Amino acid sequence: MKEVILVGRPNVGKSSLFNRLAKQRIAITSDVSGTTRDTNKTQIQIDDKSCVLIDSGGIDDSNELFINVKNNTLNAAKCADIIIFMVDGKMLPDDADKKLFYSLLKLNKPIALVINKVDSKKDEERSWEFNEFGASVVFNISVSHASGVDELCEWIYKQLPQANLKFDTDDFDEFLEDFNEQGELDLDNKAIDYENKNIKVGIVGRVNVGKSSLLNALVNDNRSVVSSIAGTTIDPVNESFVYNDRVFEFVDTAGIRKRGKIEGIEKYALNRTQKILEIADIALLVLDASEPFTELDERIAGLVGKFELGVIIVLNKWDKDHDGFDKVAFEIRDRFKFLAYAPIISVSALGGKRIHKLYPLIQEIYQNYTQRIKTSELNALIEEAVRTHPIPRDHGKIVKIFYAAQFGFAPPKIALVMNKPRSLHFSYKRYLLNKLRERFNLNGTPVVLIPKNKGKSETDI
């Protein structure tokens, strides 16, 4: 455990700071110079990290006793890991303080110059005189008024090693019980048999991108009417297909036009399309490789994201050489950043090219979409991620994840039980999602991460 030592001349407030950081009166304090003569140690806690705090005797050369105290203090400083050098802000700096500070700098340890007793504007102005020390880390504090101490603690915290995260199993079990009582936990929900239910696959895209041709190719039948007239399909068309003993229910949805161009009964077709997506598991987002992508393609893709579906991006009418696939895929990734998890496959529905690759891909994504991640593996990953890249603080206050729990399927839904859910920045959430995708097979499926307050029924996000 790291040791933090308070060093300075007599009567600069070392023992007072020691007591405040220890949150109890341990060291004897008085106005009498040299009250502390021996080193005093105690273990303190700064947020989730611990260290040993050492109160040393004041350094003074006035007599033989104080010389012995000085030698004892300097020896302790050599053994310590972090040095807090304290001076009296009511006084001007002197050569003895500077000489002592420079000697401690030579130890090549983290060191902070702490100017105590800064209680007024006049004291703040005087504190500028201590710039001549050339210290890179300086704090103005007033132990008696508790000002500046939090900033000092934050600096000490950064010098300490990352805390060893340990999830409390008892608390975790209690959380699961509470979550279940709130009706949010779906892990043991037998109402939906994900392993045996039919896999519902919605085929979506703008008009005339070849959705009906794709359906016909998938089920090996001319089930949907195909023509070059945009908007031929109005009603959703259902067709089942068995693959590896699993039933795939394909639905060819009506082509979606820009809102201003929705005519007649196509207005109702749009509503029916959205309803199909509400009950679908997987969406085949069909794009036309023979034409430039449009803003409407992006809007339709947004519907897939809105309904949190598993998704495959199907690049139809692909009659080109595969040399250009990487370029087109790059453009798709750039346009549909919110579907970065979706695989891209090129096909030719009319020619039947690469259609066979869709079946195993749909089955794989459905398994990912409905999978249950082991609680122990999930928490081990979160622990490792936080240790590698600690959560940024919120105004100096630590933000901590107590544990994680998957509470739902289709798609995987994971609660992060925290002390400050609102303080989890979206960029850190994205970092955790990336770590999850690196560790587990989540190809083609969204993952829902919900920061949640410990012991509260409502989510605090």
What is the DSSP track for 83-98?
EEEEEETTS---HHHH
Is 352 assigned a ligand-binding role in the annotation? no
Q: Is 260 annotated as a binding residue?
A: no
Establish whether 116 is an annotated binding residue.
Answer: yes
Residue 337 annotated as lining a ligand binding site: no
Residue 319 marked as a ligand binder: yes
- 117 annotated binding-site participant: yes
Residue 118 labelled as part of a binding site: yes
Q: Is 56 annotated as a binding residue?
A: yes
Phi and psi for 251 in degrees, rounded to 5? -125, 120
13 annotated ligand binder: yes
Residue 58 structure tokens: 């004041």
Does the annotation flag 396 for ligand binding? no
Q: Consult the annotation and say whether 8 binds a ligand.
A: yes
Is 288 annotated in a binding site? The answer is: no
- Say whether 236 counts as a known binding-site residue: no
How would you classify the pairing of strands 344-346 and 138-140? unpaired
Q: Return d(Cα 321, Cα 341) in angstroms, integer.
A: 25
CB 216 within 8 A of CB 226: yes
| Residue 119 marked as a ligand binder | yes
Is 351 annotated as contributing to ligand binding?
Answer: no
Instruction: Tell me if 222 is assigned to a ligand binding site.
Output: no
Other beta carbons within 10 Å of 57: 25
CA gap 57, 453 in Å, rounded: 45
209 among annotated binding-site residues: yes
Is 376 among the annotated ligand-binding positions?
no
Is 201 labelled a binding residue? no
- The verdict on whether residue 204 carries a ligand-binding annotation is no
94 assigned binding-site residue: no
Report in angstroms the alpha-carbon separations of 124 from 117, 207, 322, 361.
Answer: 10, 71, 70, 67
186 labelled ligand-binding = no
Q: Is position 316 annotated in a ligand binding site?
A: yes
**Is 318 known as a binding-site position?**
yes
128 is in an annotated binding site: no
455 marked as part of a ligand binding site: no
444 annotated as a binding-site residue: no
15 is in an annotated binding site: yes
Q: Is 121 annotated as a binding residue?
A: no
Q: How far is CA 358 from CA 88, 264, 309, 361, 425, in A?
A: 75, 34, 16, 5, 36
148 labeled binding residue: no
CA–CA separation, 157 and 161 (whole Å): 8
* Residues of the binding site for GTP: 8-15, 55-59, 116-119, 205-212, 252-256, 316-319
Annotated binding-site members: 8-15, 55-59, 116-119, 205-212, 252-256, 316-319
